[in-house]
Amino acid sequence: MALVKLSGLISTIRGNIGGTTFYPTQYGLGMRLHGNHKRKKWYKQEVQSGVDPAVAAHECGDLETIAQNWGDLSITYKNQWDTLASSLSWTNRLGDPYTPSGYQVYVQRMMNFLGETNSLLKSAPADVHAPSGYAIGEGTSAGGFPQLKINTLGNLDEYWIVPVLFNQWPGFATAPAGPNKTPSYKEIRRNGTTLAYFVPALAGDTYDFDDFYTARYGGAPAGYSNVYLYDFISKTTGQRFMGPIVVFDFP
């Protein structure tokens, strides 16, 4: 890996140029040869290979269906999404703010929305705020697996909770800061495994991870720690809000 010192004419670079990937590091700009990583399967490929359609939609979305649906929208509906987009400010990989297009907002929201509802919106709903008044606890299920518990509901019944499981590390809880440090939100979202959405309805509701660990590992991975992220997706708009990061230690 090499570090790059830029001139006054070019302040920063992101992405791929001529087979070289440029990316930020804590020391400055870094670059490496671009690798041909295995492409993630598309939605239809996942379904054809036997993956449950809802799970496939969570993991990779159905961009083809969403794009086709956008093309079928009337001008009136597209103008609504353009109007919504004009009030938003996103940030690109260079850290610069920009105003997205109506199509970009539609795709982002519907990628979240489609997985749970198996349907798509036409009109652009008014944005909502992040959930409030809730309290989430972490526990252990009867089978010895992680468990999420809704201690106080607040308005969480208006959202889907999306658990994202990050990598496992042995001895995470006692390891010094370094390779086993808690990953960032972006790292978890980029590299984690999205599990089935959890739909809270009442205080005291729980979500157990028994089925997931049994299917993937055949039981509890003793001596390991897992890092979870709980995101929230609005049932009415498809907006995604950052949730808490939690560490679960297996005995």
What integer pLDDT is reported at residue 27 of this predicted model? 56
Count of the separate structural domains present in the chain: 3
- Provide the domain limits for residue 23: 2-33
pLDDT of 153-173, one tens digit each?
Answer: 999 999 988 888 876 655 444
Domain identity same for 64 and 98:
yes
Specify whether 198 is located in the same domain as 222. Answer: yes
158 and 204 belong to one structural domain: yes
Mean pLDDT of 3-10: 60
156 three-class SS: helix
Residue 36: per-residue pLDDT: 56
Of the residues 60, 84, 117, the one at which a domain ends: 117
Assess whether pLDDT exceeds 60 at residue 176: no
The number of angstroms, rounded, from the C-alpha of 217 to the middle of its chain's C-alpha atoms is: 23
For 77, the 3-state DSSP assignment is helix
Residue 77 has a pLDDT of: 95
Q: Is the pTM of this model over 0.85?
A: no
| Amino acid 184: pLDDT | 78
Confidence of residue 79 (pLDDT cuts 50, 70, 90): very high
Q: Match 């006054």 to its residue by tokens.
A: 8
Alpha helices by DSSP H, listed for the chain, are 43-48, 53-60, 63-72, 75-86, 102-117, 185-191, 210-217
**What are the pLDDT digits (tens) for 195-208?**
778 888 888 898 88
Residues 145 and 78 in one domain: no
Q: Do the domain assignments include residue 168?
A: yes
Assess if residue 112 is contained within a domain: yes
Helix ranges (H only) for 26-164 are 43-48, 53-60, 63-72, 75-86, 102-117
76: pLDDT strictly greater than 90: yes
Does the structure show a pLDDT above 50 at 109? yes
130 domain residue, yes or no: no
Query: Do 16 and 87 fall within a single domain?
Result: no
